[in-house]
Structures are given as C-alpha cells and as structure tokens.
Amino acid sequence: MSIVQDNLERLQALKELDGISQDDLDSLNNPHKISYVELEVNNKKYPAWRILYSSDLGPGKGGIRFHSDVSEDEVQSLAFWMTLKNSLADIPYGGAKGGIKFDPKKADRNELEAVSRAYAQAFHQVLGQDVDVPAPDVYTNSQTMAWMLDEYEKIIGHHEPGMITGKPVELGGIKLRADATAQGGYFVAQEMVKEFLRDRQPEDVRVAVQGFGNAGLFMAEKMAADNFKIVAVSDSQGGIYNEDGLNISSLSAYKAGGKNVGTYSEGRAITNAELLELDVDILVLAALENQITIANADKIKARHIIELANGPIDLAADKHLDAKGTVIVPDILANSGGVIVSYFEWAQNRTGQILDEEYLKGLLEKKMRNNWSRMFNLYKEKGNVSLRQAAYILAVRRVLAAKHWRS
C-alpha cells in the first residue's frame, strides 16, 4: 500500500472516532497543487517536486528533501503530514513539502549548489512568504536554504527572507532553529515519561535512537545530558550498542569527523534492523519513513516509541503495535518543534522585529507541552483512541473549521 493510501485510511477512521462527515473527510483527500519539474544540471536530470497540500490555515509550509528514493507518493504524504502538524501546532500555516530525487552524498559542493539553485529557479512561482515557505529536511541544511534564498531573491529582484526558513543567522535565520526539532521532541518525551514511566529515574530508562542527523543526534544529546541511558544509535550505515550507555558527546565528535557510528570503538556494531528490535524502554525513530512495517512489527520490543521522523511506522504496523499496547508519540506532535521555530523565524522576518532568544525558547516549550496536553486530554477523554488518533482529530478539526469559515 502506498503511504498516500495509508494516510487516507487513517483519515477515514476519524468518521467513527469523532463523527466527522464523509464530505469533510473527502475534502482532505487531495493536494491543492502538485508542481513537478525535471531539473537539468550538468547534463544530468533530477525529478523534483513541490506539493502544496493545503492553504486553508495560511501559506504552505514544509521542508525540501534530497534523497535518491524521493517520489511523488512520498512528497505528497509528507505534505499531508505537514498540513496536520501545522494545524495541531496551532500556527498559521497550511501544509506543503518538496523533494529532489538525487543522492547528495555523491555530489560535490558545486553540484549541490547548482541543484539547489535550479530548484529555486524551477519553483519560484509557487514559492514565497505568503504562498509557500520551504525549510530543510533530510540531507538539506542552512547552506541549501541560503543558495535557494539567494537564487529566489535574484529572480524577484528584492529581499524576501521570509520565503524560506532554516537559513543561516546572517541571512535572517535564528539560532534556535538548529536543534529545534529535537528540543521540541524532548519536551514531549519528558511529558510522555511523566505519564507512562512515572516511577522510573532517567538513568534506569534505556533508550535507542535510529538516525543520527539533525533530529536524532540532538535528541540523543539532550536525553544523555539528563542522564537517560542511550544504549544504541544508528545512521544509514548501521548502529552501535553499549548496554552501559554510550558516551554521546564523544560519539557526536566521532560522527562530526566524517565517520559512521557503527565503527565507533566503545560498543558492539549492530545492524539497523537489530537496533529497531532492541529490548529498550524508549525507541526514538529519527531517520526515514516506513522503518517499522508489518514485516518487523511483531519483533519490536520497545514499549514506548517517539516518532521524530515523519511516518516511520506504516499503518499496518501501527495497528499491530497499538493492539500490543505500545505507546507511540506521533510524528505530527513529536517533531513539530522544527516548524514552530520556523514560524518564529518567519514572523521575525515579516515584522522586522528581533525577538529575544530566551523568550522564544520559552514559547517553544509552552507550545510543545500545551499541545501534548491537548492531545493527551482528548486521548483520555475518548478512551478508545490512540495518541496518534487524538492528534489527528485535533488537527483535522482545525483545518475543517478554517474550510467552513471560507465556504
């Protein structure tokens, strides 16, 4: 089943669970606009997409991914999740996503720049601070955003920093954005521990983290700093396990030196499949979608899962884990810290005001904890829904309310 079909089935369940009408659900079935271009750079062709799923709540908002597996199904699903995430986060954005089918690991800096600039040229008409606002995602970063902003501003002939977020600070970005996804995820993880692992001390809570990039690395650092025992982490080449807990700062330095975590000496090398199946208290998924499917769902021993990645558990596996009683903190809440801070960056660019960093950090924390509470209260009130379904209900209600006001 494609991820898009999975999502539509997840939506359909809301008819029974929250009495949402079929017409309302059908109105969420299709993206508003799919833009597709084949980029041509140095005689090579790269399929590229920008998909605006919804603009009911505001301009589109969502990252741009560079990966050799990018497809229309994937970008559309990511744009759908952005719609729900932005709605749940209570920020004034619709949902969108972009991607280029391209392996950035095989490209040098010149090619990365050329591909990034080609993307901005191809899609400039469907982007803009009031239209659709991109940000970094897998294998894109502040440098990618800087090239895209520069190219866009050359085309439109004036400055418009609010057209993209996750920029370098010197181009209008904000420092807080760098680890915002993990910071937001960590606030939610603390709430989850308070509710579901109440009697445990952090040093007795064993954690495995899949993915050691922007989301996973910062999450591992934050949890380790508060004494959670990080027993395993992985990147695309494999993982490392140490039952006494890994030294995350030393491992981060090792990774920053261009090495893969699986070759780190203070632990036993494991495969990514093994990491997912470890008997841990918390499994943090921070790599890519569809990591837990029906093929491995019955081997998952973790009792609590935090989805920092988008869509890491497919629908069939979700149902299986739910039936088993696994607590899953859904992606649309767990990783929303990144887009919330992107919103702060965009708002600052729009108003020209410089907002105090400590104030913004406090606002992020307040929003994350508040959004957890809204989801958790509905979960308890309904009694027959998962955390994900509670989050979906809140998100869909807000998008539909905006649609109704507009009709």
Residue 74 near ligand NAD by CB under 6 A = no
Task: Out of 212, 241, 264, 379, name the contact with ligand NAD by CB under 6 A.
Answer: 212
Residue 164 near ligand NAD by CB under 6 A = no
Residue 309 near ligand NAD by CB under 6 A = yes
Residue 277 near ligand NAD by CB under 6 A = no
Q: By CB under 6 A, which span of 222-230, 303-311, 380-388, 393-401 interacts with ligand NAD?
A: 303-311
Task: Out of 164, 176, 215, 284, name the contact with ligand NAD by CB under 6 A.
Answer: 215
> Minimal distance in Å, beta carbon 310 to ligand NAD?
4
> Minimal distance in Å, beta carbon 54 to ligand NAD?
18
> Minimal distance in Å, beta carbon 99 to ligand NAD?
10
| Residue closer to ligand NAD, measured from CB, 261 or 385 | 261
Q: Which residue is nearest to ligand NAD (CB)?
A: 213
> Minimal distance in Å, beta carbon 405 to ligand NAD?
28
3-state secondary structure the chain: CCHHHHHHHHHHHHHHHHCCCHHHHHCCCCCCEEEEEEEEECCEEEEEEEEEEECCCCCEECCEEEECCCCHHHHHHHHHHHHHHHHHCCCCCCEEEEEEECCHHHCCHHHHHHHHHHHHHHHHHHCECCCEECCECCCCCHHHHHHHHHHHHHHHCCCCHHHCCCCCHHHCCCHHHCCHHHHHHHHHHHHHHHHHCCCCCHHHCEEEEECCCHHHHHHHHHHHHCCCEEEEEEECCEEEECCCCCCHHHHHHHHHCCCCHHHCCCCEEECHHHHHCCCCCEEEECCCCCCECCCCHHHCCCCEEEECCCCCECHHHHHHHHHHCCEEECHHHHCCHHHHHHHHHHHHHHHCCCCCHHHHHHHHHHHHHHHHHHHHHHHHHHCCCCHHHHHHHHHHHHHHHHHHHHC
Which positions are annotated as active-site residues? 97
> Minimal distance in Å, beta carbon 3 to ligand NAD?
12
- Give yes or no for a contact between 369 and 118, defined as CB atoms under 8 angstroms apart: no
Task: Out of 87, 234, 252, 371, name the contact with ligand NAD by CB under 6 A.
Answer: 234
Task: Out of 144, 181, 326, 389, name the contact with ligand NAD by CB under 6 A.
Answer: 181
| Residue closer to ligand NAD, measured from CB, 272 or 386 | 272
Residue 49 near ligand NAD by CB under 6 A = no
> Minimal distance in Å, beta carbon 62 to ligand NAD?
9
Residue 287 near ligand NAD by CB under 6 A = yes
Task: Out of 94, 134, 262, 338, name the contact with ligand NAD by CB under 6 A.
Answer: 338
| Residue closer to ligand NAD, measured from CB, 287 or 396 | 287
Q: Which parts of 130-149 interact with ligand NAD (CB under 6 A)?
A: 136-139
Provide the binding-site residues for ligand NAD, judged by CB under 6 A: 136-139, 181, 210-216, 234-236, 272, 286-288, 308-310, 335, 338
